[in-house]
Amino acid sequence: MNPGQPEADGGPHPESTGRPVGRRVLLGTLGLGALGVVTAPTLQRGLEAFLGSAADKDPTGLTGLLPNGGGFRYYSVASSVPHKNAANYRLRVDGLVDRPATYTLNDLRAMPQTRMVKDVQCVTGWRVPDTPFEGVRLSQLLDAAGVRAEGTAIRFSCFDGTYTESLTLDQARRADVLVALRMQDKDIGHSHGGPVRLYVAPMYFYKSAKWLSGITVTEDVEPGYWEDRGYDVDAWVGRSNGRDDDPTS
């Protein structure tokens, strides 16, 4: 495939291609993001009812999921994702580290929290300004684990069983990269990747893996789910994926 030309069918952003929503999107992912964009108001209401009844019990979270309802669109490449809570959520930190560890939600809550308010920017162009995220700095978890000299990158895995992401170690150590527990000053709901998602503030939102379950230090960058399908690994907002806003570059 041609890198930089993401697949239309099954891409994270099928609405941007002008092509009909493919069968794989509808069957494979429920196509919620796509449905919300391409369908008529009746179907939109159906989607809303579905989300309200089945996908997210949090009534305040619902509007945030809908197009034109807070700006967020729902994305999942997995058709169904188990729900996790304080009782059964675990985050594993392993790979090229001296001290592999498993954290519960309460372990993470007990650590120092960092809050930041920045714009969420999806690679298709939708954007949600001034969105608060709060959680544990990824660098703190890496320091606790003790990254070995041969570790240069991180692979993130998710309890949806499908999605992966990656960062270089330098990127992962940035102060604006969080293992996020809260978004919009609420505990992160299931649909937004709760109870714990990655938040990579300076990059397009596909880097912010939802339903985070694993942080593995690796020898090399292993491109993530969308990166295997043509999106940039270094996904800096404004200077990746064909957007070069910097006139000096």
Ligand X SMILES: Nc1nc2c(c(=O)[nH]1)N[C@H]1C(S)=C(S)[C@@H](COP(=O)(O)O)O[C@H]1N2
Question: From residue 175 to residue 194, what is the string marking binding to ligand X with x (rule CB under 6 A)?
Answer: -----------------xx-
26 CB contacts (<8 Å, ≥6 apart)?
A: 34, 35
Q: Which is nearer to ligand X, 208 or 241 (CB)?
A: 208
| Percent composition of the chain: helix, strand, coil (DSSP 3-state, to 5) | 25, 25, 45
Picking from 91, 114, 122, the residue whose alpha carbon sits closest to that of residue 206 is 122
Cβ of residue 206: shortest distance to Mo ion, in angstroms?
Answer: 4
Tell me how far apart the alpha carbons of residues 132 and 129 are, in angstroms, rounded to a whole number.
9
Cβ contact 45:69 at 8 Å: no
Q: Which stretch binds Mo ion (CB under 5 A): 121-129, 141-149, 163-171, 179-187?
A: 121-129
Q: Which stretch binds Mo ion (CB under 5 A): 101-109, 165-173, 185-193, 199-207?
A: 199-207
Interface with ligand X (CB under 6 A), residue from 30, 66, 77, 215: 77
Strand partners, 121: 127
Interface with ligand X (CB under 6 A), residue from 114, 206, 216, 221: 206
Cβ contact 187:135 at 8 Å: no
Interface with ligand X (CB under 6 A), residue from 30, 35, 66, 122: 122
Q: Which is nearer to ligand X, 74 or 103 (CB)?
A: 74
Structure tokens at 187: 């505990």
Size of the site for Mo ion (CB under 5 A): 3
Q: Which stretch binds ligand X (CB under 6 A): 35-43, 104-112, 156-164, 238-246?
A: 156-164
Tell me how far apart the alpha carbons of residues 120 and 3 are, in angstroms, rounded to a whole number.
24
Summarize as ranges the residues that interact with ligand X (CB under 6 A): 12, 72-77, 122, 158, 160, 163, 192-193, 205-206, 208-211
